[in-house]
Amino acid sequence: MTPRYTLKVLTEFASAHSLRDYPGDCRRLHGHNWKVEVEVVAHALDSVGMGIDFKVIKRAAAEVGDRLDHHYLNEVEPFDRINPTAENLAAYFFQELATLINDDRVKISAVTLWETDRASVRYTED
C-alpha cells in the first residue's frame, strides 16, 4: 500500500469583485475576506521526515494571494476576461500553486476557497 500524507495550510486575502451577467445583487461591486485552504499530497517523505515544509506551502499560497489582495478582481488577469466567481478563483489558485509546488514527490490535491464563513467551493483535478 502506498503511503499518502495530506498537508493543509490556510491563508487569506481581501478583494472586491462584481459578477458579470449575474441576475442578482452580486453583479454590483462588493468585497470579501477570502480564506484559501490548500491541500498538498505527498507519497514519500524527505530526509528530514517531511512531505513538504509547511513554510513552502504557506509561501506559495501567500504569493498567489498577494496578486489578488486588495484589488478589484475584475481588473486582474485572468479575471479581466473570465468571471471572478468563487469557482474560478479556486481553480486559479489550484493551477498557480501547482506550478509553484508540484514535483515528483508532492502535488496540490485540492483548494477550498471560502467566500464567507458558511460558503465555500472545493476544486480538485482527476
Which residue type is seen at 108? I
Q: How far apart are CA 107 and CA 101, in angstroms?
A: 6
pLDDT 10s digits, 15-61: 999 999 999 999 999 999 999 999 999 999 999 999 999 999 999 99
What residues does each domain of the chain span?
A: 5-123
Binding site residues, as ranges? 17, 30, 32
Binding site residues for Zn(2+), as ranges? 17, 30, 32
Q: How far apart are CA 61 and CA 29, in angstroms?
A: 25
Closest CA to 79 of 63, 61, 67: 67
- How many residues can be counted in the chain? 126
Whether the pTM exceeds 0.85: the reply is: yes
So which residues are the catalytic ones? Answer: 26, 70, 115
Distance of CA 77 to the CA centre of its chain: 15
Q: How far apart are CA 64 and CA 92, in angstroms?
A: 9
pLDDT 10s digits, 56-102: 999 999 999 999 999 999 999 999 999 999 999 999 999 999 999 99
Q: Which three cell numbers stand for residue 21?
A: 451577467
Which CATH superfamily does the domain covering 5-123 fall into? 6-pyruvoyl tetrahydropterin synthase/QueD (3.30.479.10)
